[in-house]
Chain A
Amino acid sequence: MNKIETKNLNLYYGTFHALKGITMSVKANTVTALIGPSGCGKSTYLRLFNRMNDLIPGVKIEGDVLLDEKDIYNNKGMRIDELRKKVGMVFQKPNPFPKSIFENVAYGLRVNGMNHASFVEERVETSLKQAALWDEVKDKLKKSAFALSGGQQQRLCIARALAIEPSVLLMDEPASALDPISTAKIEDLIYELKNKYTIIIVTHNMQQAGRVSDKTAFFYLGDLIEYNDTNIIFTNPTDPNTQSYVTGRFG
């Protein structure tokens, strides 16, 4: 069974054709890396799954996007906030709220009506532990999240996404603004999280894609050029464009 899937998916920003007939499916509990040159549509593709593209005026979408084999766009029974509870997202730039560390992680619970104090406390602790941040912040949960370092803020954002127990986690270049040590921590984390979540990660870092992902999809100018097991994409790709991109000889 496919966890998520797109079928002949076209997306337009006004008249600009940004995604061209993408058909692709992802199995549960795997990590999929989206790679490709800047502007090829990786972020756009990622934002399909939690419908963040809906926030951009003038976006037109054709084709099917399925989560657990159910269409998430043409589906009256599927509310967007319910969808986003199931499909979490971590952004490129850490974007904690101007609230305490605790309240940042509790936010998703509260807006989804889970307000019971002991439950919230327990979930905050679990999520911070999952995000490998607990030891660093357990004594200052009431302090502002803005006082954390960039790498800690990004792990806080991951904890925040995990707190509502989504089944899919979308990550758009989650480590691009971070130093090598924080990056390594986040990569370890992704590896850990695979047990419970289906992860799709956009990255410009080929080593990172190689280290963390099971499958890799190469996008180019809005087309999905090649999609296969990560080791095949990196060692023996079919398409010459993929070959030159993964070996760093592109353009």
Chain B
Amino acid sequence: MSKNLKEKIAFWIFRILSLGVLLILFWILEFIFVRGWHMLSWDFLTKMPEDGMTKGGIYPAIIGTLYLVAGSMIVAFPLGVMAGIYIHEYTLDSFFKRFIKLMTNNLAGIPSIVFGLFGMALFVNTMKFGDSIIAGSLTLGLLALPVVIRVTEEALIAIDDSFRHGSYALGATKLQTVRKVILPMAMPNIITGLILSIGRVSGETAPILFTVAAYFLPKLPTSLFDQVMALPYHLYVISTSGTKVAESRDMAYGTALVLVLFVLILNLLANALRKYLGNKVKMN
């Protein structure tokens, strides 16, 4: 077989496989859109569930997920970015640094149900937050932490040392260098990492199962110590464990579609933000 022919065959194998992946993705989206689209209405998004969650809307689950996403980001973003900065800017390549990196990677590999159990033990029981937004946000925040740390680190690695040296040579301290030069440059990439972790957090069921999620709550939360409904758990409940699973079918697809749209819209928003920040960094 000629080299050229091999090259061609390899090219087509890669191309077909990548197209296959795309196809599967579109298939999933199509599946959800076709079954869920007719459910989408203003009422569906803004009304409480009715009739044993077979009718009405999913408003409280949407609100609950928004709170949890926001809460977990408030936890994971500052902690993760600071940890990433510490690892990359402040530790020399030492045993300690490699140890932290290893542990971060391990943390990323822990199944989310384990985070759920840990969150229940620590935040719900030991710290006595009960099933609450705060316990759920902390648990989800921990789950997102390794992603944020790693993305921060990678964003910092991508910045050439000549920028750091230029800053030090002008008498800037390490903190000033990080704050005024390095972090603004890294921010667009860190934001990308945030997108990834928001996607992960908003779709997680296991970590919120024992820490915050309510099966059904006919009212909105009024404090950080209230339980909330959340989209992924709501979806799980109405499609498996309710008494009227068959009657809830449409509600389930509607909920799934909202969850998917939620993540898509967040991604688009964050992408726009990233582009905007990227331009701003160059100008300032």
Contacts and interface: CB of A to CB of B under 8 A. Distances in A.
Interface of A: 50, 52, 55, 57, 81-82, 84-85, 88-89, 91, 93, 95-100, 103, 107-108, 110-112, 142-144, 146, 157, 160-161, 164
13 contacts: A50-B169, A81-B173, A82-B171, A85-B171, A98-B281, A98-B282, A100-B283, A107-B172, A107-B180, A108-B172, A111-B171, A143-B283, A160-B170
B169 A144 contact: no
Contacts of A108: 170-172
B166 A97 contact: yes
B173 A111 contact: yes
A139 B160 CA distance: 29
A241 B82 CA distance: 53
A170 to B, nearest CB: 8
Nearest to B173: A81
Contact of B282 (A57, A88, A107, A146): A146
A99 B283 CA distance: 5
B26 interface: no
B171 A84 contact: yes
B171 A144 contact: no
A107 B165 contact: no
B169 A112 contact: no
B28 interface: no
Contacts of B169: 50, 52, 84, 88-89, 91, 161
Q: How large, as a class, is the contact surface on chain B?
A: 20 to 34
Given A99-B284, A146-B282, A107 B167 contact: yes
Interface in B67-108: 92-93
Contacts of B166: 91, 95-97, 157, 160
Given A50-B169, A91-B165, A111 B176 contact: yes
Interface of B: 92-93, 160, 162-163, 165-173, 176, 180-181, 184-185, 281-284
Given A111-B170, A164-B170, A103 B284 contact: yes
SS of B interface (majority)? helix
Contact of A112 (B163, B165, B168, B171): B171
Contacts of A160: 166, 170
A85 B167 CA distance: 11
B230 to A, nearest CB: 40
B24 to A, nearest CB: 39
Contacts of A103: 284
A52 B168 contact: yes
B165 A95 contact: yes
Contacts of B180: 107, 110-111
The residue in B168, B184, B281 that gathers the most chain A C-beta atoms within 10 A of its C-beta is: B168
A97 B282 CA distance: 9
B180 to A, nearest CB: 7
A98 B171 contact: no
The residue in A97, A99, A161 that gathers the most chain B C-beta atoms within 10 A of its C-beta is: A97
Q: Kindly list the 10 A-B residue pairs having the minimum CB-CB distance in the complex, ordered from nearest.
A: A108-B170, A111-B172, A95-B162, A85-B171, A89-B169, A84-B171, A95-B166, A81-B171, A144-B282, A111-B176
B170 A95 contact: no
B170 A88 contact: yes
Contacts of A146: 282
A57 to B, nearest CB: 5
A144 B283 contact: yes
Nearest to A102: B284
The residue in B160, B163, B172 that gathers the most chain A C-beta atoms within 10 A of its C-beta is: B172
A237 B181 CA distance: 46
A111 B165 CA distance: 14
B93 A98 contact: no
Contacts of A110: 180
A97 B181 contact: yes
Contacts of A97: 163, 166-167, 181
Given A97-B181, A100-B283, A57 B93 contact: yes
A172 B8 CA distance: 49
A223 B168 CA distance: 28
Nearest to B159: A98
Contacts of B283: 99-100, 142-144
B284 A100 contact: yes
A120 to B, nearest CB: 14
A157 B137 CA distance: 46
